Amino acid sequence: MHHKKEYMTLSYEELANALEEGWSVIGLHEHDVAEQVNPTTLERTFRAELFPEHGDPLTEHNTPPWVEVTMVWGPAHQVHTGQMVSVPLELTWEYTITVPPADKRTDSELIRTLQSAIQTSLRKLFHEDVGFDVLALEVRRAYKAPEARELRCLEIHARGSSDISDVLTGLGHDHMLRVIQEEYAMVNTLLQTFADTFSPGSVGGYRSVESA
């Protein structure tokens, strides 16, 4: 006897809306969303730049850490069985921390400071040391003009991804929201630690929705 497989269709719009709801809950009020459709591959790309609430004009001296989340949604994600998900569904996170040009730390010192902040965040989340790198790190330089050599600021980038394929297992909308909230809990902890490390007491101090 053959058992009928149960199919669930999770729409791109449902997942994108869940992402928007998630960052509102943790106090990331400002965002700019860009969406693209590739007609050849039938893939849709969702990219959002997420900023905290702030009151001052942002410059290279007071820009708080921020994060960009990217999701690629293709045809294989649209219909699937509740038994197994064969196509990974990943969220890619890229954190950006702006450092004023007057900061005299070397690239390696900045990277070590960021690595320490990441480990601090992970200890808060998992209550133990995590002995592996969860984010790829690099330092970039931004100049005031393409041909100029005058440095405008340094940017430290941390990039990672998380597989949220289990939202496609047919467990329902509430399960999807829980998974998204768990991802944002880590994002929020990382951003708060980055702010405390690189811009303590400044506009980089994040505020929750309740205290905003």
Terminal-residue alpha carbon distance, the chain: 59
- pTM, rounded to two decimals: 0.83
Span 79-118, pLDDT tens digits: 655 455 567 889 999 999 998 888 888 999 999 999 999 9
Q: Give the Å distances, CA to CA, from 207 to 27, 52, 181, 186, 210.
A: 7, 8, 17, 16, 8
Contact 47, 79 (CB under 8 A): no
Amino acid at 29: H
Span 200-209, pLDDT tens digits: 655 444 443 3
Which has more pLDDT, 158 or 75?
Answer: 158
